[in-house]
Amino acid sequence: MKRTPTKLADGRELIYYDLDDSAVRDALDRRRQAAVESRSELRLDRATGDWVTIASHRQGRVHLPPTDACPLCPSREGHAGEIPAADYQVAVFENRFPALTGRAGRCEVVCFTPEHDASFADLTEERARLVLDAWTDRTERLAALPEVEQVYCFENRGTEIGVTLAHPHGQIYAFPFVPPRTAKMIAAADRHRAATGRNLFEDLLTEARAATPRVVIAGRHWTAYVPYAARWPYEVHLHPHRRVPDLTRLDEAERAEFPGLYLELLRRFDRLFRRDGAPGPGAPTPYISAWHQAPRTGGGELALHLELFTVRRTADKLKYLAGVESGMESFVNDVAPEAAARRLREVATCT
């Protein structure tokens, strides 16, 4: 992998990632634009102990532009976007409208492909591996910043999720605090260690692999399974068999197996809601795909894993959070985890 860092016209960092070590990325950003005045502020909710980010400058960000004005497509005659090059493989840049800035953290955009109408599932295994290597590199570099407590790599896909740019991309948040979900997982893992002497995530993986009705895909180094108490209609957790704290600690065998397994998992999500089993791509399934990594401090029991879920529960129905879920964070799932896993196994044979 070749890493080529450069700067955009307003001073933000841009990094190209290429498979070919001879790739040259010397295109200049010739736009005349001033940096967005970021006004991120962290406020502590004393009733819950959770940090809330106030980022009012994000109201002016680009929202669902037409394809020919997509800021994530390669630049061309008549269109200068966020990536000056006429082509690229993977590109990462500082978000122009970040939720977190300066001492309050950092936000980056990860462009998986120059193809506007593609998706992550359309990548080759080689290109998916390049994305994994980019995630790993950014995790290592961002985690080294003194203000960063946790690095969170994720992808939102679909307008149903709230995506504002259709181009296939993800984001990275470098938090200056431990987010609530991470804090809950660490607390649960600490309680489990105190009660059993074992690691919670190792036990969850062992139990899932033994309870085969919830296993979706099992590889030599990774297993994808539906959790016993899944919150979302179709929710899959993907764990390496060897417990590691973050992406930087995966070994070569684990890195080599991940792309093929993950691509198959995404493609099964896309097959889920084809009507009556009809061939063809159907409507793309909206999803969130999120890497959970151990924070800098206090996360020794947290194991690296990816959580993938969709807000769609049938071909024509979304799961909207009910009052008990939004108001009390008490989830109600309409799909049994075992049934969801069975369906995800069944669509493996669809064409």
For helices 200-210 and 180-196, the axis angle rounded to 10 degrees is 80
| CA–CA gap between residue 194 and residue 205 (Å, rounded) | 19
- Any residues with CB less than 8 A from the CB of 289 and at least 6 apart, and which? 120, 154, 155, 157, 170, 266, 306, 307, 308
Length of the chain, in residues: 351
The helix/strand/coil state of 215 is strand
Strands 169-175 and 305-310: unpaired
- In the residue annotation, 169 being an active-site residue is answered as yes
Write out the DSSP string of 198-209: S-HHHHHHHHHH
Q: Which of 167, 169, 237, 292 is catalytic?
A: 169
Query: Rounded to the nearest 5°, which phi and psi values hold at 260?
Result: -65, -40
Alpha-carbon Rg of the chain, whole angstroms? 20
Q: Cβ of 325: how many Cβ atoms within 10 Å? A: 15
What are the E-state strand segments in the chain? 2-7, 13-18, 41-45, 50-54, 90-94, 106-111, 150-157, 169-175, 215-218, 222-225, 234-240, 287-292, 305-310, 312-314, 317-318
User: Which residues are annotated as catalytic?
Assistant: 169
